[in-house]
């Protein structure tokens, strides 16, 4: 599954183009800073900010597993590495996931049912657990972002796993089977 740098950049640009219908002025969208082989959202973030979308980036807590999100006001502002070496934007404006319209989740793998494979820390499952407790929670919408080649037939699932509403790849945005049911 090794992609060349050229293939990665082309896929990242395609994901930004495919995401255009999601990028509405005034929306609060959580993005992420890519780590390792995760698909970079840099082109998507630039496009979203140009369209008046509020971009929020995750902050890993010192204790516990519930993420907060920092508003990305100025990408040239101050950044710092968290305990995992992931760059986090330094901001005084933080919100919880319930106040977001959309969360773009980094994926290492996914299946058509909305199953996802991440880095394994459980932060997103803990942060988004409220979605599983009440059927009326429709927000934030959860969209996994990956390269199309990371799709798998079926991923194993635990009871606490939060399923995706849709998957966004360079080939397009498609609803998961979990969201369709």
- Half-sphere exposure for 38 (CA within 13 Å, toward CB): 20
Q: Are strands 87-89 and 79-81 parallel, antiparallel or unpaired?
A: antiparallel
Confirm or deny that 49 is annotated as ligand binding: no
Residue 172 annotated as part of some ligand binding site: no
Residue 120 among known ligand-binding residues: yes
- 7 assigned binding-site residue: no
38 is in an annotated binding site: yes
26 is in an annotated binding site: no
116 annotated to bind ligand = yes
- Provide the annotated binding site for substrate: 38
- Provide the annotated binding site: 38, 116-124
- Provide the annotated binding site for ATP: 116-124
């Amino acid at each position: 599954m090794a992609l060349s740098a050229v293939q990665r950049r082309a896929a990242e640009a395609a994901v930004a183009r495919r995401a255009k219908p999601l990028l509405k002025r005034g929306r609060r969208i959580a993005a992420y800073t890519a780590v390792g082989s995760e698909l970079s959202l840099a082109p998507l973030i630039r496009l979203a900010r140009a369209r008046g979308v509020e971009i929020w980036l995750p902050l890993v807590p010192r204790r516990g597993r519930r993420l907060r999100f920092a508003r990305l006001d100025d990408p040239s502002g101050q950044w710092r590495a968290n305990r995992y070496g992931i760059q986090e934007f330094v901001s005084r404006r933080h919100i919880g996931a319930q106040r977001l319209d959309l969360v773009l989740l980094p994926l290492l793998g996914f299946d058509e049912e909305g199953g996802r494979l991440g880095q394994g820390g459980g932060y997103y499952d803990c942060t988004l657990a409220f979605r599983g407790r009440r059927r009326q929670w429709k927000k934030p919408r959860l969209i996994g972002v990956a390269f199309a080649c990371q799709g798998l037939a079926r991923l194993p699932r635990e009871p606490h796993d939060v399923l995706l509403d849709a998957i966004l790849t360079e080939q397009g945005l498609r609803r998961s089977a979990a969201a369709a049911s």
